[in-house]
Chains A and B, each alone.
Chain A
Amino acid sequence: MVPLLHRAARCGRGRGHSRRRLPPRRWIVVLLVFLMAGCGRMQPTGAPQDGFSLTMAAQPSPPVVGDGQLIVTLHDPDGRPVSDARLQVEGNMNHAGMKPSFGVITAAADGQYTVAIRWTMGGDWYVDIKATLADGRVIARRLPITVHVR
């Protein structure tokens, strides 16, 4: 059962939990705490504590089904643009059954990254953006966006 804790621990990542292994006896307590507390509730989409500003704008706006673009803007806590981050962009629909759309970075300058992405269906999407900074730090956000049908 201990390996299952990896799955459980994963949901706490954004909240500063560690993935440290717990003594085997305590797994059941941890499991119960997770179950009862509903650790897996929808992650808040508000700004995390890292101080970075990561925003996203769609082109066209509002986005429509088909090929589209996202303009991702990244600034450090002092408001300086960050242009040398390695970006991973993944769009997922809000409901089960649709495979993810992965964004392709086509340009980056002055803290702005142009990402080509294909919206495969109209509706609510979550865009997960992971920016790996030059010093190895990772800035991650999950941003909601609604895609319209043409």
Chain B
Amino acid sequence: MSGSRPVHTLDLLRWPILGRFLKWRHARTALQVPFLLAAALIVFDGLVGPQLAPKNLATVSVWLHYRGLVVLALLVAGNLFCMACPFMLPRRIARWLRRRLWRDGRPVPRIVRNKWPAVVLLVLFFFVYERFSLWASPWWTAWIVVAYFAVAFAVDATFRGAAFCKHVCPVGQFNFFGSLISPLEIKVRAAARCAACRTKDCIRGPQGCELALFQPAKVGNMDCTFCLDCIHACPYDNIGLIGRTPTAELWTDPFRSGIGRFSRRFDLTLLVAVLIFSSFINAFAMIGPVYALREQIGRWLGGPAPTVDLALIFGIGLVVLPGLLLAAAGWATRRSLPAPVEPLTAVIGRFIYALVPLGFGMWLAHYSFHFLTGGLTLVPVVQSFAADVGLYQGAVEWGLGPLTPGEWLFPIEALCLYAGAFGSLVAAMQIAHRRLAGETTPDLAWRTVRVAAPWLILILALLIVGLAILVQPMEMRGTFQGLSG
């Protein structure tokens, strides 16, 4: 690992065509423009097209294809969707305005220089998504896209740096979370080259990282939007898109540039907890038992109260239960740790990352289900759109739908979840093993298991819950109430 000679075997930037494309100065723009056009079509059709979710480009492409492809991209590559994010295109105008009107704008206020705004927005989004059945409304879907452009523009026109990406964007936080398990990472090829560098263009230069990730000290994918700026900034061509062991970045807790240590960031712990447990809540909300539960809560409350009963489910599923489970697991682990023992929040903040692969596995299973069930429905929807605007005269093939036979769906979902659980079990053991590094007792293996045991039990319990949810037939109800209520 010494010297400046690259040692990485898989570096996509060294691939003949792809590498050349990604190093091209306008590569990101070239990826963003098609997404911007797609966003324009989505907004147009969402606002003026047929208000039936299966027949509208907005609902089909956003809730089915976008989400399905996001998780697949995170699984097989990395944060490709932040790389191609169309919301960042108007930001160039916002930056120009900021420089002209506000002398390069204000720094992000210290109080929100963290993940708290994103945590609040994520929880709010998940709640509103279920309460008002956003997935069933092309109109609302279009307005979400419009709001995204507006907020990204407003935030980045006001504050310096990539304030929207780093502190606000809920989709970006999901992508950061998912990219923790991705097999690709943007990182330096040879550390010695960076040590000799005096200009530090990757952070200081005009194309320096706006998310404050200093390449030589950057670890992992958290907060990295794959924007390629550092690649273009580095005068030594010393940054690559490099292969790594998926999930391995969860095993260690070094100081990470622009982030700090995971275990010392309570806001990050909370963000990760929300994304892990909401994967279960989100899937639970699409099966029959949730309606029985909501009706039962309604009876207790003396009549239907859709906002209150959903708030109760969210409160229990996203606050009370996770809080209790994490506290119990952290407490049990803390009891078996050698001195000096960290505070409980730091123990939870360290071990919660073991649950990331399982949480991602649940998202993957859920979104894959939708994508595989209706992947081909995009064809008739596009045909219908094209027919309406006079670009297509043929028959609209409404018969197209699933990408795989129906009987494959549960095995695929279960595979996603099992793979996630396996990744989590490995991560829990690795974290425990590293925590005990330096211990020389003969029963080290046994002690490692003891330290990890509460998390291993939690992972297996969540695996069972996940399978119990996935084995239920999907049953999306409540739309009529949601839209009118």
Contacts and interface: CB of A to CB of B under 8 A. Distances in A.
Contacts of B439: none
Contact of A7 (B44, B64, B139, B401): B44
B288 interface: yes
Interface in A7-44: 7-8, 10-11, 34-35, 38-43
B483 interface: yes
A91 B52 CA distance: 11
B135 interface: yes
Interface string A85-100: 0000000111111111
Interface stretch (B55-63, B100-108, B155-163): B55-63
B475 A11 contact: no
Nearest to B480: A144
18 contacts: A10-B48, A11-B48, A42-B139, A94-B136, A95-B54, A95-B59, A95-B135, A96-B56, A96-B370, A96-B374, A96-B377, A97-B60, A97-B374, A99-B54, A99-B374, A122-B473, A124-B479, A146-B480
Nearest to A34: B48
B197 interface: no
Interface in B317-362: none
A40 B388 CA distance: 15
Contacts of B135: 95-96
B247 interface: no
B466 interface: no
A41 B476 CA distance: 20
Residue among A38, A40, A146 with max Cβ neighbours from chain B (10 Å): A40
A11 B377 contact: no
Interface of B: 44-56, 59-60, 63-64, 133, 135-139, 142, 288, 370-371, 373-374, 377, 380, 385, 388-391, 398-401, 473-480, 483
Sort A-B residue pairs by CB-CB distance and give the 5 closest, nearest first.
Answer: A97-B374, A122-B475, A99-B401, A123-B476, A3-B390
Contact of B47 (A34, A96, A122, A148): A34
A7 B388 contact: yes
Nearest to B138: A40
B129 to A, nearest CB: 12
B46 A123 contact: no
A40 B46 CA distance: 7
Interface residues of A, number: 34
Contacts of B374: 96-99
A94 B63 contact: no
Nearest to B484: A42
A97 B377 contact: yes
A126 interface: yes
Given A40-B50, A95-B63, A123-B474, 8 more contacts: A6-B390, A7-B45, A7-B49, A10-B48, A34-B48, A43-B51, A94-B53, A97-B63
Interface string A30-68: 000011001111110000000000000000000001000
Contact of A126 (B52, B389, B476): B52
A5 B135 CA distance: 25
Residue among B45, B52, B137 with max Cβ neighbours from chain A (10 Å): B52
A65 B473 contact: yes
Residue among B44, B398, B476 with max Cβ neighbours from chain A (10 Å): B476
B358 to A, nearest CB: 25
Contacts of A149: 288, 473, 475
A138 interface: no
Given A40-B51, A96-B377, A122-B288, A10 B388 contact: yes
Given A7-B389, A10-B49, A38 B139 contact: yes
